[in-house]
A and B are shown apart, each in its own frame.
Chain A
């Protein structure tokens, strides 16, 4: 076995240890440790990606002396390595971009715990991406839940406390349903490893036994993870949590944490139940419908919002809807679109949140639209980044968001007439709505009618903030212009994923 193959396991385990060390270090040292480690994990994940691309396949890494059904194992393929690289890179950039906010918003002696939470979150995201075992997924889902709630409440204020409480209660409700699903599935199959369950499920499905339990289990998984990833009817906790947290937290939560749960759901759908069962149980139709509703109602919520960060949070609800519509098309093209959207949103929304953090800096700490008038002039780099992000969200060609819409449209065109009509209409309406709330913001931040109060204010030059935004802009335009390469990688990854 080559050394590269150990990297996924090393990234998971030593991210945990890095978090443990951050908890006892001074905040500045913890920051350095965490950033160094995140750089290293990004490089390691990229190395794994290159390795899997070169060997054109995936490999199974057993966690211990024993093979799969006895021990734990992780499965590393092209898609997983790609996601891990993107996630760890985005985590690094989000931390860098909001660094001064972290130190301003957290209590000084607790700032080191921010990096603890980030490391643990990263570890759990890696584990969720790579895991091949349902119970491992549950354990790391819990780490993910607690760490992400802690990221919200590290900015100590009444609102974040309330938002955290709502977030935590909803998340735990989701975990409860998810765990009940795992347990019931264990009851009828007797397995926890995804491949073994898939085998048993196929037998059970063919024999026609346990038809109702199977439906209910799929329902439990879907509802549990949909609550956690804020799919439309369960999104009420998201705007508060993402809108009130510190800039980096909002970026990480919107960009990565939601996607972690969706990746678990995709794994459960395609690697545990298989396409046949999912189609026969008609779960994807529900997800499709809720996804469409999320696209519309998320955007409507964003239009009504006068607070920039909450507006971005509502926009996340809409963007999560795109992913679910992609999954709900239950075709290969739909899945490609969903994966593209996971990546596109992961590199766009953090940029928007970090730019918004910059605007708030130059507007006396106010978040409302009226206070932000002209903020783009006071913080030009943030203004450019926000414009790029907004154009990407609307779906202008050569930006990341366009790639999603392109693939989603292709996926929709391939499906049945009714689905196609609904999906195309939803994409069109949602694009229009996105433009309706992003374009005024762009005009507003570049408007010359600044209120006198903040007029002379200029953003302080910060290397980390500038570096993060420049990287995000480059990533976004790069992904938008050379999407062919990434989409090719995703396609190959999905082939190995059993699609």
Chain B
């Protein structure tokens, strides 16, 4: 058990990321309000990016921008996670915009953000 806690403390970035992921997941699952669900999704995404970014960090090294022509790999942190996070952020922005647009349309139509109520109302409505 002390080992477990010790490891969690060492990996404190990952620990925080995982807890954030859990919070996002819980928000997504438990709330019926669409805006809150979207916030939960964004939490989840951000948590994964934090997790990923922490994978690239190496203590005491510089950002991977080569200065003065010194391209010794042992001086710079890992550039891969940074690039992946960038990709991930763009995906997350796109998805959030899409979901918010859907929410707008649903709100225009049903005047509520409660997904269960919306589903209920939509079932009653005939196409």
* A interface residues, Cβ below 8 angstroms from B: 135, 139, 142, 145-146, 149, 153, 157-159, 161-162, 164-166, 168-169, 172-173, 176, 179-180, 183-184, 186-187, 192, 244
Instruction: Please give the distance in Å from B66's CB to the nearest CB on chain A.
Output: 17
B94 A183 Cβ-Cβ under 8 A: no
Given A158-B125, A159-B125, A162-B119, does the pair A168, B102 have CB atoms closer than 8 Å? yes
Instruction: Give B residues with C-beta under 8 Å from A.
Output: 14, 21, 24-25, 28, 34, 37, 41, 44-45, 48, 51-52, 55, 80-81, 84, 87-88, 91, 94-95, 98-99, 102-103, 105-106, 109-110, 115, 118-119, 121-122, 125, 127
Interface core residue of A146, A173, A183 (most chain B CB under 10 Å): A183
Contact, CB under 8 Å: B98 / A168: yes
B48, A162: Cβ atoms under 8 Å? Answer: no
Alpha-carbon separation in the docked complex, A108 to B115 (Å): 29
4 extra interchain contacts, Cβ-Cβ under 8 A, other than A139-B91, A149-B98, A165-B102? A165-B118, A166-B115, A186-B52, A186-B55
CB neighbours (8 Å) of A179 from chain B are 45, 48, 88
| B118 in complex: contacting residue of A162, A169, A180, A187, CB < 8 Å | A162
Residue contact B106 to A165, C-beta cutoff 8 Å: yes
Contact of A157 with B127 in the complex, beta carbons under 8 Å: yes
Contact residue among B41, B52, B80 (Cβ-Cβ distance under 8 Å from A176): B41
Nearest B residue to A186, CB-CB: B55
**Minimum Cβ distance to chain A for residue B85 (Å):** 10
Contacts of A149 in B (CB 8 A): 98
User: Contacting A161 at CB < 8 Å: which of B44, B48, B80, B109?
Assistant: B109
**A153 x B102 contact (CB < 8 A):** yes
User: Which residue on chain B has the smallest CB distance to residue A367?
Assistant: B127
Given A158-B125, A158-B127, verify A180-B51 contact (CB < 8 Å): yes
- Nearest A residue to B28, CB-CB: A173
Contacts of A161 in B (CB 8 A): 102, 105-106, 109, 122
Nearest chain B residue, comparing its CB with the CB of A173: B28
Contact A135 B87 (CB under 8 A): yes
Contact of A183 among B37, B48, B127 (CB under 8 A): B48
Main secondary structure, interface of B, reads helix
How many residue pairs link A and B with beta carbons under 8 A? The number is 84
Give the chain A neighbours of B118 by CB distance below 8 A.
162, 165
CA distance A169 to B24 in the complex (A): 13
Sorted nearest first, the 3 A-B pairs with minimum C-beta distance are A162-B122, A176-B44, A158-B122
Kindly name the residue among A135, A145, A158, A168 whose own CB sees the greatest number of chain B CB atoms within 10 A.
Answer: A158
Collect the chain A residues with CB atoms within 8 Å of residue B52's CB: 183, 186
Q: How long is the Cα–Cα vector from A178 to B91 in the complex, in angstroms?
A: 14
* A-B contacts, 11 listed (Cβ < 8 Å): A142-B94, A146-B95, A166-B115, A169-B28, A169-B37, A173-B25, A173-B44, A176-B21, A176-B45, A183-B52, A186-B81
A139 to B125, CA, bound (A): 36
- Which chain B residues lie closer than 8 Å to A165 at the CB level? 34, 99, 102-103, 106, 115, 118
Among B87, B121, B127, the one with the most A-chain Cβ atoms within 10 Å of its Cβ is B127
Minimum Cβ distance to chain A for residue B19 (Å) = 13
Taken together as a complex, chains A and B put the C-alpha atoms of A165 and B127 apart, in Å, by 17
